[in-house]
Structures are given as structure tokens and as C-alpha cells.
Structure 1
């Protein structure tokens, strides 16, 4: 989670909580620990957030906004000449962002675990993945319409791309050193080339 160089106290709280939740989990990272880490009093922390649950909620909304399909893929930028190359590059940018943020995978697993207990988190996670499936489906249909890819089962291919993006995140969390870039590129090439 990135903040500007002139971060407000509110942003510093979110950034610090993001790291502490990833490192220690939601249960162990208390409001007192967050306040101490930032160097503010607990009342000052409560001025910005009425509870730890409020921080968890706001963080989740911010994370979900930052990982939408549209933040990584712009259908308007895809042409017949660049389709395969661009789809590979845009997918790799997601993988790269997951690699660069050492806390992302761990905090997302916290939210997944929370989703099993609280349906509102599970629903938001499902909506996020559905957004990728819908986005990939539109992108692949665009590819068919401009002659960049062969007509095929674009929905199944969109679901496959979504599963790979989600799977990469999960496997990174467990520490697998797979060749994610090659897996993504091979999948895209197989879809685009109709292999």
C-alpha cells in the first residue's frame, strides 16, 4: 500500500496498520500497537478510526480499489498489432506489483480468512474476482472483433486468466518460486494463438 511523501496522519495510520496486520494478523495487531508504532496516542488514533474493525474495513476497500481490472488493463490501448504483447505486459504488471509489495499476499490471506466468518468480506472478494473475469471477457471479445485472436470460448479463457492471476498471488504467499512470468506468457500465447 503506497502513500504520498506528504502523507496525512490518516494515511500513515492506514499504511502502518496494513504492515502490522500483514505481519501479525488482525487479532494480534491492536489499536495500542498501531498507535505506538506511529508515535501517536490511542485517543488520537480513535479520533481517526472508531475501532480496529473500522481500519480493517477501510483498508479492505482501499485494497480492492487498487487491484481492479481497469487499473491494469485498458481495452482502448489494445490493437490487432499489439494485443498479445500488451496482454502479457499488463498481466506481468500485476504479478510485479504483487512481488514488490511484501505485505499484499499476507494481508489478503487475512481477509480471505475473515471472509469465511464474515460474508461481507467474502462478497467483496468474489466481486473483485468477478470484475477480472468480466474485464478479461470484454478484452478477449474485443480481441476477436479486431481480428487479434481467433473466435473461441472467450468466457472460459477469461476465467482461466482470472484463475492464474489469483493463483499467482496464492502461490507467492506460500513462498513458491515458480516462473510466474513464463506461466502467464504461455497462457496468453495459447489463448491468442488458439493453441
Structure 2
């Protein structure tokens, strides 16, 4: 299927990749090279006034929508999640991606706490909540579930913000 899509013969593909597993591994590396927390969320030079909007907008950038490239990345990520149930190599890679986002949310929320936008207690739980919500919203959009994902993400963000920092 890949050979046909790129206009090559199957033997030509295997000239460059000795096994199907190597091909899949290279596809994984290529597709997810830019899929990390800091590519979606602004983490430098935040102030209290822009913290909530930065968190909200970063989450929206992660969700599939008008950006077909992001949609494709998330579709492939879902396929690798399924593959990771059987293959330890992909499970480790998926877990590494998950930890990057959990650590990213944690660091961002710690910065928000320093700014006074987020209460400093239970930061790890708040980071996990945001990671789980964005992951499930993205999956719901891919499955064409009719929900107001922007509204749900806004509520998730507001749930971790101090009252005076909430998005109105």
C-alpha cells in the first residue's frame, strides 16, 4: 500500500527498508518528530493575563480540525496506540509521548502557579486531567462524535485556573 501510494514497487521499498518493522519504525519517527508539548503550547514569557489564553489556544491547536496534517498525525497515532498493545517497542514510544505531554502540562501549570493563575496544590492531578481531556477530545473528533470540543476544553482549562484567571 505504501509502495503504491509513493509510486514505487514493493521491492524498491524493501531496498530502503530491510523489514516491514523497520519501515513502520521509520514512519513513526518521521510522523512524530514534531509532536511534542512545546510545539503546541507557548511556555516562555507568559504573564498572568495571557496564561489562560495560551493554555486554551495550545489545546485547540492539538485537536484535529481545519489542519489536515494534524488530523493525519492523530489518526496515525491512534493506529500506533492499537499496535502498542502487542508491541513493546511502540508501547515505550507512546508512553514517552504521553510523558512529554504530562511533564509539559505539569511545568506549564507550575509556571501558572508562580504567576498566580493556578492554585499550587494538586498540580500533578491537574496536569493529568488536562492531558486526559485533550487526548479524549482529539479521539472523539477523529470518530466524528458531535460535541462542542472547544467548549469542553475551555471548561477543562477553567477548572484548573484561579477565579480571576478564568476564560470568559
Query: TM tier, shorter chain?
Result: 0.7 to 0.9
Matching residue within 152, 156, 162 for 1:187? 156
2:151 matched to 1:166?
A: no
What's 1:140 paired with? 109
Distance apart, 1:60 and its partner CA: 1.3
- The two structures have a TM-score, normalised by structure 1, of 0.74
Matching residue within 26, 39, 48 for 2:16? 48
Spell out the pairing of 1:81-120 with structure 2 (5 A cutoff).
Answer: 81-96=49-64, 100-101=68-69, 102-120=71-89
Distance apart, 1:92 and its partner CA: 0.7
* Secondary structure, counterpart of 2:80 in structure 1: helix
Q: Deviations over 1:88-138 (max 9, x none)?
A: 111111114686344334322321121111111111111111111111111
Residues 102 and 131, structure 2, Cα contact 8 Å, conserved in 1:
yes
- The two structures have a TM-score, normalised by structure 2, of 0.85
Distance apart, 1:78 and its partner CA: 1.8
> In 2, Cα distance between the equivalents of 1:151 and 1:39?
54
2:100 matched to 1:131?
A: yes
Distance apart, 1:145 and its partner CA: 1.0
> In 2, Cα distance between the equivalents of 1:41 and 1:100?
27
RMSD: 2.1
Gapped regions of structure 2 (runs ≥ 5): none
After TM superposition, where is structure 1 displaced by more than 6 Å over at least 4 residues in a row?
A: none
2:28 matched to 1:63?
A: no
Spell out the pairing of 1:69-84 with structure 2 (5 A cutoff).
Answer: 69-84=37-52
> In 2, Cα distance between the equivalents of 1:63 and 1:156?
29
